[in-house]
Amino acid sequence: MRKILWWQQMVYQLLLLAVGLFALLPVWGMLRIALDGAIKGAPTEFRLWPEEFTLAVFQHVWENPSQTLSIPGLLKNSMIVAGGAAIFSVVFGASMAYAFARFRFPGRKTGLFALLVGAMLPPVALMTPLYVLLSALGLRTSLLGLMIVYAAFSMVFCIWSMRASFQAVPLELEEASYLDGATHWVTFLKVSLPLALPSIAVAALLAFLLGYTEFAIGWLFVESSDNVTMAMAVSGMMRQSGAEWGNLSALALLMSIPVVIIFMILYRYLMRGMLAGRLED
């Protein structure tokens, strides 16, 4: 390979800088508003840097996210709903995913196609009937109800991606286990599951993120202010007329921080399956 010349290096760096600015511009725009103590209501003049640099806005929002619940309470609800949905999806879907990965039963291809279609459905496609059915059961407004809804959104996707992780486990290892006299069940627990665990964890995390960042359907279902989640609090403040831009920005950033951390740690994992044809989004 040729070395690149200094002026080429300059051109490349400038191009990369332009894209970098595009990527960072909105993030900084929001951060700047959240860090500026001088903004009352909406920002009135153009500024690249906060006029009065302070963390007070974050502190204020942490104590008062304009819901009846405090931030820990909101996060707890988010954890129950999104975490519950993720665990539910993985636990009840794992064995089905394994069956699709390892057995050649009649109807498998049709089933796979149905799973693929299901994995690609938008959440709204299930929202309409679930609203009516959960209302009829009296579960709609509870945290359990919302957890079921989010599980319904993510479960098919989880099965689809767990199937691929089980398929990636070398068949020889399972066969060796059978030769030692182990049953299917023992092989699954002792060999396949541990090997597929990292990818399963990724699937679960993606399911978690889906529930953690969801707000529109949450507001449709939830009625009690005790059951509001973090994302719902952000969108609730967004809908408020005359809300403080600083508070909204700070709350949205607070909500995003855990997600950003998870993604930064996981992105290599998320991309690993890509070329084998397995993708998450």
Residue list 3-62, contact with another protein (CB under 8 A): 3-4, 9, 12-13, 15-16, 19-20, 22-27, 29-30, 33, 42-46
Among 118, 141, 193, 243, binds another protein (CB under 8 A): 118
HSE at residue 173, side-chain half, CA atoms within 13 A, is 16
Among residues 119, 168, 173, the alpha carbon closest in space to that of 272 is found at 168
Taking the complex as a whole, how short is the minimal distance between the CB of residue 7 and another protein, in angstroms? 13
CB neighbourhood size of 271 (10 A): 11
Does 186 interact with another protein (rule: CB under 8 A)? no
Give Cα 280 distance to the centre of its chain. Answer: 11
Q: Kindly identify the residues of this chain, within the stretch 195-214, that bind another protein according to CB under 8 A.
A: 209, 212-213
Taking the complex as a whole, how short is the minimal distance between the CB of residue 171 and another protein, in angstroms? 15
Chain position carrying tokens 């938008």:
122
Burial of 43 (0-12, 13-18, 19+ CB in 10 A): middle
Residue type, 43: P
Does 152 interact with another protein (rule: CB under 8 A)? yes
Among 35, 222, 228, 248, binds another protein (CB under 8 A): 248
What residues does 36 pair with on adjacent strands? 53
Binding pattern to another protein, positions 77-96, x when CB under 8 A? -----------x---xx-xx
Choices 63-71, 120-128, 172-180, 193-201 (CB under 8 A): range interacting with another protein: 120-128
Among 146, 196, 234, 250, binds another protein (CB under 8 A): 234
Among residues 80, 42, 14, 51, the alpha carbon closest in space to that of 228 is found at 80
HSE at residue 5, side-chain half, CA atoms within 13 A, is 3
Among 175, 183, 220, 224, binds another protein (CB under 8 A): 220
Q: Kindly identify the residues of this chain, within the stretch 153-182, that bind another protein according to CB under 8 A.
A: 155-156, 159, 164, 167
